[in-house]
Amino acid sequence: MAKVTERTEADRALKAGHRAMWARGDYPSVAAEIIPGLGKELVDAAGVGPGDRVLDVAAGTGNAAIPAALAGADVVAIDLAPELLETGRRLAEQRGARLRWQEADAEALPFDDGAFDTVLSCVGVMFAPHHEAAAGELLRVCRPGGTIGLLSWTPGGFAGRMLATVKPYAPPPPPGAQPPPLWGDPEHLRALFGDRVTDETAGHHTVAVERFATPEEFRDYFKQRYGPVLSVYESLADDPARVAALDTDLAGLARRHDRGTGQGRLAMDWEYLLYTAHRSPV
């Protein structure tokens, strides 16, 4: 019994840390300015339509949930961070979308088995630390024959490399936590879902990011606004040498990925995996 209590307390502390991480900075601006169209792309790929019961897991500000609602679906959007959900509510109201927002953990969804026709996540559930637990919950709440739709950064793409760049500077991850970009590896998803899904599709795509004039502008934007990067910088507050080294590494990453269009701005292609599958009927 004591071990169970210890695990529960450790998990609560871990989730509290994740909640605080995503509340830091300004993730709503990152979602709006860097990846505004990815949510609708996922909704379209999953075939969401009128009357579908849809769950958006780790929904953030509703990048996928809002387009799903506008497509006529009955949508619930869940996230660990209530600050992101509050922004999502405002955005949905501005766009005339009606849906339900609920604070919840992707690894312990508060819904009945088979409650949804479609379960989505757009660069969201990939950040849940325990991949098997999260994948099991996605499947559990999806009805037999229903659709799982995921859009995730790939390990070898720009965002995956950005997370890999900051990892050596970060505190050690908790036991059992797995790297988020693994969700962008089709083989990892096959290992997670196994024969519990059918009709899998997995395609690599890129989103063009031309928001930044210089590598340094990119670096400063993400160190000030993006929770996973900002939190690492905060952990280095008393080590200016490591802060300077991370500054150099992040700017260098952007410089290496610039397509060099000659238009006076960085032009980068960020790779992601678009995955869909049907939950097996048995």
245 within domain boundaries: no
pTM of the model: 0.94
Task: Determine the 3-state secondary structure of 122 from DSSP.
Answer: strand
d(CA 208, CA 189): 25
Q: Who contacts 233 (Cβ-Cβ below 8 Å, separation ≥6)?
A: 223, 243, 246
Cα atoms in the 13 Å half-sphere on the side-chain side of 150: 30
3-state secondary structure 63-100: CCHHHHHHCCCEEEEEECCHHHHHHHHHHHHHHCCCCE
34 within domain boundaries: yes
**pLDDT 10s per residue in the chain (282 long)?**
333 344 578 888 889 999 999 999 999 999 999 999 999 999 999 999 999 999 999 999 999 999 999 999 999 999 999 999 999 999 999 999 999 999 999 999 999 999 999 999 999 999 999 999 999 999 999 999 999 999 999 999 999 999 999 999 999 988 889 999 999 999 999 999 999 999 999 999 999 999 999 999 999 999 999 999 999 999 999 999 999 999 999 999 999 999 986 677 899 999 999 999 999 997
CB 166 within 8 A of CB 232: yes
CATH of the domain at 65: 3.40.50.150
* Amino acid found at 247: D
197-209 and 268-279 as β-strands: parallel, antiparallel, unpaired? Answer: antiparallel
Looking at the chain, how many residues does it have? 282
118 within domain boundaries: yes
220 within domain boundaries: no
3-state secondary structure 4-20: HHHHHHHHHHHHHHHHH
Count up the domains in the chain and report the number.
1
Neighbours of 282 (CB within 10 A): 6
116 within domain boundaries: yes
254 within domain boundaries: no
d(CA 37, CA 207): 9
219 within domain boundaries: no
92 within domain boundaries: yes
pLDDT number for residue 84: 97
The tokens describing 90, both together, are 């405002």
Q: Who contacts 71 (Cβ-Cβ below 8 Å, separation ≥6)?
A: 43, 48, 49, 50
pLDDT number for residue 262: 60
* Element of type H or E holding 277: strand 268-279
Residue 177: domain span: 2-206+274-279
